[in-house]
A and B are shown apart, each in its own frame.
Chain A
């Protein structure tokens, strides 16, 4: 009776040994030739012109919020002509804190286009906070326009003052005149 029991208790050990042997052998076998990088399924779908399917596939891969996967999803959505999906992917990327300044601005543009002006303003606020030394006049003019259209004078006025102190040329004056409008 003890013999069969001993044998059964040894099965997991045998399986583990076999697995270790297989994995160990795989690790020491050298590559047979030059490494061929297989195309991803997403690449194949894009090559085949199946953009919607590629968006779906990349959406699944980006479920856990990996920044690289989100970037790929955003790019595929751009190819597919799906700005809403692109905005959603970029917004998630911004929330990871790993987005570049350009990705922040693009997210804000897409959100503003979709009418989500307060969300766009939030993205620009965080962009300035994260990249304080990199913002330029075009960034400030977009930021200020969003603040104006969100009726956030508390944000827009200091921005206008900063723009004026940064550069007092005629171009800025025109932007400020435009900002003084009431969001016609």
Chain B
């Protein structure tokens, strides 16, 4: 009887290997706001949260507070109010306390909620709170400042917005980013930017600066680092739509600036493509969609600006999408106006000339193909440091931020081409042909990979089959095939590139002490092709 039960149990476990351990990574952030679509958290925080792979679930503070009990998909709660108005003043503190007791970090930003029990509200975040009637701040000085995290886009210059008194309940385990003190009184201190084990607090005006006319905004904290700290995001895989094979995706597009400018946009596209079939260029007749940056700022009235300023600002915007963090692909949209269509060529030349100097990825994949249902992507944690990626659509990259100490554990990884590092982040390149790739990370010291692994590539690579001696794959992309692979140090390889149209070519490549193979294939993979690696230095072994 026992033997029968054991066999039955084993059969069930074998039939459902995922169910044994798999737990979907919680990615939902419940966002409480007190405005409409223009509320600060939806305008400013939502793009950052999306960049971090999180899903925003907005709730108005004018409605009943959402029930969070039993919600396994919720990663944390962001309360960012513009006026502080809440409908449930009596129940607000209990709701926040319930969230923190459930283990959900709560980030409190903007205006202080108009809750009946404000002291209890801050206490739920392990903070002590007292209202400060002194509306002046000229006698405040910063006595502690985390310079790596604050003053990201604008300096305080000791001009601090009015702030209440907030201090930690216990000094241990809190991380104050800014400590202010009045005159020389060490007992008269406040911490307007602070992270605790229960969440984080940013006083109004300390996380984001908005100009009086509302047209300009600057982050006073590094928003990515801030939300990573607030929501305890350590080694979490992030679906990344900016990158292909560790390189920014290049995709230039034209769009009509008005309903009558469609023909002009098509004509400008044909003009730009003439003689350059390898160029990747889209004409977006329905408008820019999610692509950006969009230029010029004043289509149909841009001649003076174009002549006086040129396109340096557009190029600076594109550069800002790469550093200090890669937050956007290289996907500019040029608005075409029939009356000023001659300016489009100048703008396109500026962009393409700039793009030529950068390591970008060029392939048939477009941002629209990557405009996938972000919420549908499932990241199942199947073991410590191991995730299975499901329902990913055209997603080909997972990113791990601040991952200098992490690398791929190849013994437990499936369907992955390789990984490259950019600005401290690890970009994992998934094989487009892999159904449900598995990504495993380790913090063990680096050791040579057991086979050729991709570091970065300009072309798209798919269908990779490899072993210790060989690798074969499909390639597609415009321009030269710049690639970097990681192999065993001092190994020797023969590469065979067969474009779909054109003659095949063979190359010999030798890795140095760093095990890096870096090469550039001729620009003939616009219609696709194959690439094979064969190792030549392994000694023959007899029977």
Contacts and interface: CB of A to CB of B under 8 A. Distances in A.
A10 B213 CA distance: 56
Nearest to B154: A81
A110 B305 contact: no
A47 B294 CA distance: 13
- Main SS at interface, chain A: helix
Given A47-B297, A79-B211, A141 B136 contact: yes
Contacts of B183: 183-184
Contact of A49 (B135, B138, B213, B316): B316
Interface string B201-235: 00000000001110010000000000000000000
B276 interface: no
A47 B155 contact: no
B309 A44 contact: yes
B154 A145 contact: no
Interface string A122-137: 0000000000000001
Nearest to A117: B138
B309 A48 contact: yes
B468 interface: no
Interface residues of A, number: 33
Contacts, number: 71
Contacts of A112: 136, 138
B185 to A, nearest CB: 6
Given A75-B212, A78-B211, A83-B159, A138 B135 contact: yes
Interface string A27-68: 000000000101101001101110000000000000000000
B38 to A, nearest CB: 21
B182 to A, nearest CB: 9
A138 B132 CA distance: 11
Nearest to A112: B138
A38 B135 contact: no
Contacts of A79: 211, 216
A172 B134 CA distance: 10
Interface string B160-198: 000000000000000000000001110000000000000
A36 B154 CA distance: 34
A141 B313 CA distance: 44
Interface string B306-348: 0011001100100000000000000000000000000000000
B211 A44 contact: no
A113 B298 contact: no
Contacts of A22: none
Contacts of A120: 138
Nearest to A109: B138
Q: With a 10 A CB-CB cut-off, give which of B136, B305, B312, B313 has the most chain A CB atoms.
A: B136
Contacts of A83: 157, 159
A123 to B, nearest CB: 12
A128 B391 CA distance: 66
A142 B213 contact: no
A174 to B, nearest CB: 6
Contact of B213 (A44, A75, A141): A75
B139 interface: yes
A41 B308 CA distance: 9
A122 to B, nearest CB: 15
Q: With a 10 A CB-CB cut-off, give which of B137, B158, B305, B312 has the most chain A CB atoms.
A: B305
Interface string B125-167: 0000000011111110000000000000011011100000000
Given A78-B211, A79-B216, A184-B185, A44 B134 contact: no
Contacts of A119: none
B301 A36 contact: yes
B159 A110 contact: yes
Q: With a 10 A CB-CB cut-off, give which of A78, A113, A137, A178 has the most chain B CB atoms.
A: A113
A113 B309 contact: no
Nearest to B218: A81
Contacts of B312: 48
B304 interface: yes
A178 B134 contact: yes
Given A47-B297, A149-B139, A39 B133 contact: no
Contacts of B185: 184
B136 A142 contact: yes
A32 B158 CA distance: 53
Contacts of A149: 139
B218 to A, nearest CB: 8
A36 B340 CA distance: 15
B443 to A, nearest CB: 40
A92 to B, nearest CB: 18
Interface in A83-116: 83, 109-110, 112-113
A171 B313 contact: no
A141 B183 CA distance: 16
Nearest to A143: B136
Contacts of B154: 81
A175 interface: yes
Interface of A: 36, 38-39, 41, 44-45, 47-49, 75, 78-79, 81, 83, 109-110, 112-113, 120, 137-138, 141-142, 145-146, 149, 171-172, 174-175, 178, 183-184
Given A47-B309, A141-B133, 5 more contacts: A36-B301, A44-B305, A109-B136, A112-B138, A145-B136
Interface of B: 133-139, 154-155, 157-159, 183-185, 211-213, 216, 297-298, 301, 304-305, 308-309, 312-313, 316
- Shortest beta-carbon contacts, A-B, top 3: A138-B135, A112-B138, A142-B136
17 contacts: A39-B301, A44-B304, A44-B308, A47-B297, A47-B313, A49-B313, A79-B211, A79-B216, A81-B154, A113-B138, A141-B133, A141-B134, A145-B136, A145-B139, A146-B136, A149-B139, A184-B183
